[in-house]
Structures are given as structure tokens and as C-alpha cells.
Amino acid sequence: MKERSAGIVITKRIVSSFIVLFLLVSFIFILLRVSPGDPSQKFISPELSPELIKKISRSFNLDRPIIEQYISFIGNIFTGDFGISYNHRLPVLEVIIQYLPFTLLLAFLSFSLQLIFAITLNAAIYKRMNSYYDKLLSKLSITFFAVPTFVLGVLLIFLFSVQIDIFPSNGTRSIDFDSMNFVEKLWDYFIHLLLPLFTLSVGGASVFYKYLRDNIDEVYQKLFVVKLRSDGFTEKQIFWKHILPNSIMPLISVAGIELGFLLSGTLITEVIFGLPGMGRLTINSIFTRDYPLVVGCTFISGMLMIFSTLIADLIKIKIDKRLIKDLMN
């Protein structure tokens, strides 16, 4: 009985994710049709002859009723056919696949960095709850959370690339990259990614830190901690084995939301540091009026975000079965 209800909840959650995805596509379609100008104008040069425009318009099925256009649009998108990017002269999906891994790598590294940072800081601070350092760190975390990604990035470039000149400000590799050996190449990547990663991670890390700190504080008040202490467990054992697992639970739902922020963060970070990722691709495609690529990027990013929240929810259900009841209602 219990297992079956869990199954139903999970399928419901997955189905609702797909519905959101479907709505996203519909929304993009509506936007494309409502925005000023015919879609054919966006997809071809205005200097072409009227006959040719008519021909292309027919080849895009623009003379058909709008419902039919909608169905073919959805069909095309779900089969991965976004059209051909004019700047890259390649199918949109191929272009995106070139740029996507970098963004995913950056997001993944930053996400792990945020978690590691938050947990280590908390491990260092848990013995000194409500001390001077604790209060200072809490204030700092709130402050850093309010600092916008792009201001932080530009300030870091100014400090470390212009004033002190120890980190490169742009790109992922140096000019003499090809002549390096493997270790030097790795080091080169590392030194190029350090500033972007830091820029991307500070906001999220401060959220995680504050959240985790408050949770740990709450868990410490519980009676089982007193019981464990009286049983003779050391503080270290109590923290790592009992307090941390108990307080990390609510963090997961925050992490799901945080992943969404992370995607928009990578967009800005990539633009600032000139990194070859999805975000910069999106912005460049907007400025060059490359509409197929804009639609493709929006869809792929939306899909990533929707699925990351889905996975966060599934992990939550996996860890704590009680949540199924909440999700049922």
C-alpha cells in the first residue's frame, strides 16, 4: 500500500515536470508569434525578394492554420529539431552540444565547491556557536549573498587581474597552451577557472552556510544530542554522524532552487570572463538576432532547470519517506 502510493507520487511528480516542459515550449511558441514581425522575417534576410519570402514562408508552414503550426513546432522541438543557426551554419542542437559540457562542468564544480565550503565552515564553527566569529561569519554570509554576481566578478577581475595580475581575466587557456605538457595544461585550466568559480560560488556558498548553520543550531537543541553525550560519544562523532546528516536534509530543497540560480549565474559569469559556455552562447545569439539558437538555448536551459528540481525532489523523497505525505496533498 505504502509502496504503491510512493510510486504514484513519484510518477505524478515526473508527469508534472513534463507538463511544465510542455508549457515552456508553448510559452516560447506564443512569444515567438506575439512578438513584432512575422517569424519568416526573423529567420531570413529582409533584402530577399518578396517571391522568395513567400516561398520560404510556405516552406515554414506559415500559411497553415495556427494550430497546425503549433503542433509542428512542438513536434520539431521534442525531436530535437530547432532549425539551423545562421551564425554557426550548423543545426542548433550541434552548436549547443559543443557549448553545453562546459556550462555543466562549471555548474557542477561550483555546486560541489559551495557544498564543501559550507560544510567545512560549519564544521569549523559548530563548537563556537554564538561566538564572535560565528556572528561575523553570519553577517558576512548575508552581505555576500546580497552582492550581485556581475559586480563581484568585475571587482575580482579588477583586484586579481589588473591590480595584482596573478590570475588571467579571460578565456580558458593561455596563448602557449599547445606547447605545454599535461600537468601544465591542467594547471592552466585551473588558474583560468579559479576566478569564475569563485564568483559563481560565493553567493550560493553563503546561502548554504547560513542555512546549514541555522539547521545545526536547531538540531543541537534536540534531546537525542544530550542522550548521545551522556552515552559518551565525542563531540566530533556526534557532529559528523548525527547532527550533520540530520541538518543537511532541508538543505536539499534549497539546493534544488539553488541549481536554478546557478544556471543564471553561469550565464553572467561566462559573459564576464569570456568563457565558452551556454550562457555566453545565448547572449551572443540574442545580439546577433540568431532566433533559432535563442529558442534552442532557452529550451535546453529550461529543461535542465526543470529536471534539476525534479531530481532534487526525488532525492528528498528517497531520503525521507515522510515527505510523500506532504507531496500527496
Binding site for other proteins (CB under 8 A): 16-17, 19-20, 23-24, 27-28, 31-32, 35-36, 142-143, 145-151, 154-155, 157-158, 162, 169, 260, 263-264, 267-268, 271-272, 282-283, 286-287, 294-295, 297-298, 301-302, 305-306, 309
CA-atom Rg of the chain in angstroms: 25
Which residues sit opposite 183 in a β-bridge? none
Which one, 75 or 148, has the nearer CB to other proteins?
A: 148
- Rounded to the nearest whole angstrom, what is the least distance from the CB of residue 245 to other proteins in the complex? 28
The nearest distance, CB 261 to other proteins, in angstroms, is: 9
Contact 244, 115 (CB under 8 A): no
Shortest reach from residue 255's CB to other proteins, in Å: 15
Compute the least distance from the CB of residue 20 to other proteins, in Å.
5
Least distance between other proteins and beta carbon 277 (Å): 14
The nearer residue to other proteins, 123 or 323, going by C-beta atoms, is: 323
Question: What SS3 state is found at 48?
Answer: coil
H or E stretch covering 132: helix 132-146
Query: CB within 8 A of 309, min separation 6: which ones?
Result: 17, 256, 257, 259, 260
Nearest residue (CB) to other proteins, 21 versus 238 = 21
The residue among 107 and 243 lying less far from other proteins, judged by its C-beta, is 107
Cell readout for 20 is: 511544465
> DSSP H helical segments within 35-59, as ranges?
39-43, 50-59
How big is the CA angle at 231 (ends 226 and 236), to the nearest 5 degrees? 75
SS3 84: strand
Whichever of 72 and 161 has its CB closer to other proteins, that residue is 161
